[in-house]
C-alpha cells in the first residue's frame, strides 16, 4: 500500500484552525496508517502552539494519531518566547525553513493552508 507524507507550513496564528482541519481531513481521507504528517510552525505561526493557546486539545488529538508538530527556534527567540511556553509535545528545530527544505528534498508534499 502507498504511504503518503505531507508537511504543513504554518506561518500565521490565524491560519492554525485551517491547518489543523487540513491535517485532520488528510488523515480521514487517506487513512492515518497511510499518512505521515508534520506541522512546521515558524514566524507568527509558532504562537498557535503555545500552552495558553486555544488549540491544545486538537493538537494533542492529532499528535496521538501520529502527527508531529515542530517550531522554529529562530522564531521563538525573535519573539522573546521560551521553549517551556509551548505544548509539551512540540519539538524545536533549528529553523523552520530548514525543516521544510529537508522534508521536500525527501519527497514530502508541501501544504500551505
d(CA 44, CA 4): 28
Between 56-64 and 16-30, two packed helices, what is the crossing angle to 10 degrees?
20
pLDDT the model gives residue 2: 77
- According to CATH, the topology of domain 4-111 is Hypothetical Protein Ychn; Chain: A, (3.40.1260)
| Dihedral of alpha carbons 89, 94, 99, 102, sign | negative
Mean pLDDT of the chain: 97
- Mean pLDDT confidence for 49-72: 97
d(CA 1, CA 86): 36
- Taking the model in full, what pTM does it have? 0.96
Query: HSE-up of 67 (CA within 13 Å, CB side)?
Result: 27
pLDDT of residue 24 exceeding 90: yes
The percentage of the chain sitting over the pLDDT mark of 70, rounded to a whole number, equals 99
pLDDT band at 82 (very low <50, low <70, confident <90, very high): very high
Going edge to edge, which strands form the sheet with 91-93?
91-93, 68-72, 35-41, 4-10, 109-111
| Dihedral of alpha carbons 73, 76, 82, 84, sign | negative
Q: Where are the domains of the chain?
A: 4-111
Amino acid at each position: 500500500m502507498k504511504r503518503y507524507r505531507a508537511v504543513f507550513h504554518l506561518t500565521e496564528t490565524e491560519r492554525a484552525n485551517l491547518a489543523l482541519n487540513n491535517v485532520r481531513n488528510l488523515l480521514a481521507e487517506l487513512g492515518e496508517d497511510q499518512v505521515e504528517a508534520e506541522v512546521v510552525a515558524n514566524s507568527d505561526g509558532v504562537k498557535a502552539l503555545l500552552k495558553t493557546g486555544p488549540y491544545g486539545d486538537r493538537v494533542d488529538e492529532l499528535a496521538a494519531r501520529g502527527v508531529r508538530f515542530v517550531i522554529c527556534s529562530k522564531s521563538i527567540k525573535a519573539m522573546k518566547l521560551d521553549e517551556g511556553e509551548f505544548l509539551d509535545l512540540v519539538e524545536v528545530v533549528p529553523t523552520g525553513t530548514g525543516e521544510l527544505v529537508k522534508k521536500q528534498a525527501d519527497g514530502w508534499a508541501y501544504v500551505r493552508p
